[in-house]
Amino acid sequence: MTILDTVNKLKSGEITSRSLVESLKATFEADKKSELPLNAFLEIFEDATAKAEACDKEIAEAKAKGSLDKLFEEKPLLGVPFASKDNINVRGQKITCGSKILEGYVAPYSATVINRLEKAGAIPLGRCNQDEFAMGSSTEYSSYGPTRNPANRQYVSGGSSGGSAAAVASNQAVFGIGTETGGSVRLPASYCGIYGLKPTYGVLSRWGVVAYGSSLDQVGILGHTPRDIALPLYAMAGEDFYDDTSADLPCKEDLKNLKAYTDFSSLKIAVPKQFAETKGLDEDVAKVFEETKQWFISKGAKIEIVDLPILDASIASYYVIALSEAASNLSRFDGIRYGNRIDSGKGYDELYVETRSNGFGPEVKRRIIIGNYVLSEQFSGSTYKKGMSVRARIQKEVAKLYESYDLILCPTCPTAAFKLGQKVDNPLEMYLSDLYTVFVNLSRCTSISVPAGKNRDGMPVGIQFAGPMFSEAKILSIAQAWEDEKGNN
């Protein structure tokens, strides 16, 4: 069910929020017992039912008073359960970031994005699985087992927000939120066959979201339709006192009743050569991409191939910057301030070493080591600086491109979802899954992955509609036009 379906059914009394939450809980319990569990949710929050009952009460009271429409005007997500990610704080609930080091840790406060969704009436249903500390592209690096793909359970869900994507794709939640540092919402959206938006850096507050690479981190939204993304974005977007990098979204009002785009004849689209002629681009993905281009052309849009050689350096720049920031951010997990502690009484150094050696998984350790290596005295001023200057170039050249074009069109990933275990021991190959997504994070812009077709194995393929900073309403409305013609929702 979409948000609109859910709200209409809640209004008409066909369902109650309580009955919806109970049925989603039952689906979760049944999945846990199945032979190949999806493992999308790590936990359904115990208080979700009580919160749903409170929403039902509000709805009943407004109905009696004849003010139902007014109520939903104020709270457009009233009674709608959503999937959250295990690195977003929900006060009083456990939060582990998919890591053993935080097992049993309870969130002392709620993230701004959670507070704002709750203010709009939405119900945090539970926390979803993810790659440990959001480091990964398949959700296989979780300490709590992988999340499987709802389209075929032998395949990965994508990552790092694989749990939130699988929860939405399998109808275990109406919509979901995840986080992006370098594609972690768009990639699982593409693999699971749903929509996933990475907003402009700053549009969604990072307060209460566990940091990975702070200059890149951004909360993202997963939904069945672009409208299902627009409404939660409307509820969450805007400046936050607690996050100095946060910013208002100028096009926010257009999100409330998102219209499908119509003005295709004035649309200019750039297709970077670097993303259309890549060696690793899968044949079936290339075919779906071609069909998407043809759709735009048939609508009257102009498409041009552009040459942006700097994009070839985006993966290298991203991993240098993200891992440097991660090494610094993750130093707070020291066994003193957060989560688990292993103390054999031999002093602080031992305590740090034992807690971190036992608490972090192998991929997180690899990244902390690489990050510290890059930042070490021997290298400072060379590798990190180079990573930063490549980023500045990408930012500048992408911004310049958007002076002449409305959209960048490219596949979300070089391949569709792969089988579980296929890349888990080959980090470099795993990193290459992010080839087409990280330029958006590096340039602080926005992009949506739209479900655009299937490969020969029936696995979903996503294509990105990427736009300049603060163009969320426009790219979502273009995606809505796509959904109206091509979608199943």
Q: What residues are annotated to the active site? A: 85, 160, 184
The reply to whether 160 sits near ligand GLN by the rule CB under 6 A is yes
**Closer to ligand GLN by Cβ: residue 118 or 180:** 180
In the sheet that holds 460-467, the strands lie side by side as 41-44, 123-128, 81-85, 175-180, 218-223, 195-198, 446-454, 460-467, 407-411, 268-272, 302-306
The reply to whether 182 sits near ligand GLN by the rule CB under 6 A is yes
Judged by CB under 6 A, which of 89, 139, 170, 184 binds ligand GLN?
Answer: 184
- Pick from 198, 212, 202, 133: nearest CA to 165: 198
Place of tokens 């200057």: 389
Q: By rule CB under 6 A, what string of x and - marks binding of each residue 416-435 to ligand GLN? A: ------------------x-
- Pick from 176, 134, 169: nearest CA to 152: 169
Report, in Å, the least distance between residue 180 CB and ligand GLN.
5
Q: Say how far residue 317 (Cα) sits from the centre of its chain.
A: 21
Kindly identify the residues of this chain, within the stretch 321-380, that bind ligand GLN according to CB under 6 A.
322
The reply to whether 183 sits near ligand GLN by the rule CB under 6 A is yes
Which one of 110-118, 148-156, 182-190, 468-476 is the stretch in contact with ligand GLN (CB under 6 A)? 182-190
**Closer to ligand GLN by Cβ: residue 76 or 136:** 136
Kindly identify the residues of this chain, within the stretch 97-136, that bind ligand GLN according to CB under 6 A.
134-136
Report, in Å, the least distance between residue 425 CB and ligand GLN.
15
**Alpha-carbon span 23 to 196, nearest angstrom:** 25
Kindly identify the residues of this chain, within the stretch 210-229, that bind ligand GLN according to CB under 6 A.
212
Per-residue b/e over 23-37, b at no fewer than 16 CB within 10 Å? ebbebbeebeeeeeb
Report, in Å, the least distance between residue 269 CB and ligand GLN.
25
Residue nearest to ligand GLN (CB): 184
Burial class of 465 by CB neighbour count within 10 A (0 to 12, 13 to 18, 19+): buried
**Closer to ligand GLN by Cβ: residue 56 or 363:** 363
Task: Report phi then psi at 104, rounded to 5.
Answer: 85, -5
The reply to whether 440 sits near ligand GLN by the rule CB under 6 A is no
- Pick from 457, 475, 458: nearest CA to 466: 475
Q: One-letter amino acid identity for 389?
A: S
**Alpha-carbon span 56 to 141, nearest angstrom:** 39
**Closer to ligand GLN by Cβ: residue 120 or 430:** 430
Report, in Å, the least distance between residue 27 CB and ligand GLN.
27
The reply to whether 181 sits near ligand GLN by the rule CB under 6 A is yes
**Closer to ligand GLN by Cβ: residue 42 or 174:** 42
Report, in Å, the least distance between residue 463 CB and ligand GLN.
18
Report, in Å, the least distance between residue 134 CB and ligand GLN.
4
Which one of 91-99, 165-173, 179-187, 282-290 is the stretch in contact with ligand GLN (CB under 6 A)? 179-187
The reply to whether 137 sits near ligand GLN by the rule CB under 6 A is yes
**Closer to ligand GLN by Cβ: residue 76 or 158:** 158
**Alpha-carbon span 83 to 188, nearest angstrom:** 14
Judged by CB under 6 A, which of 56, 132, 180, 325 binds ligand GLN?
Answer: 180
Per-residue b/e over 93-120, b at no fewer than 16 CB within 10 Å? bbbbbbbbbbeebebeebbbbbbbbbeb
Q: Say how far residue 459 (Cα) sits from the centre of its chain.
A: 19
Report, in Å, the least distance between residue 135 CB and ligand GLN.
5
Report, in Å, the least distance between residue 183 CB and ligand GLN.
5
**Closer to ligand GLN by Cβ: residue 56 or 180:** 180
Instruction: Report DSSP state, residue 315.
Output: H
**Closer to ligand GLN by Cβ: residue 39 or 160:** 160
Q: Judge whether 99 and 361 are in contact, CB under 8 Å.
A: yes
Task: Report phi then psi at 139, rounded to 5.
Answer: 65, 15
Q: Give me the helices (H) in 283-422, please.
A: 283-298, 314-329, 348-359, 362-375, 383-404
Q: Is the peptide bond before 160 cis (omega within 30 degrees of 0)?
A: yes
Per 3-state DSSP, the chain is made up of helix, strand and coil in percentages (nearest 5) of 45, 15, 40
Instruction: Report the chain's C-alpha Rg in angstroms.
Output: 22
Kindly identify the residues of this chain, within the stretch 234-263, that bind ligand GLN according to CB under 6 A.
none
**Alpha-carbon span 399 to 68, nearest angstrom:** 44
Which one of 17-25, 180-188, 459-467, 473-481 is the stretch in contact with ligand GLN (CB under 6 A)? 180-188
**Closer to ligand GLN by Cβ: residue 363 or 483:** 363
Report, in Å, the least distance between residue 137 CB and ligand GLN.
4
Positions that interact with ligand GLN (CB under 6 A): 134-137, 160, 179-184, 212, 322, 434
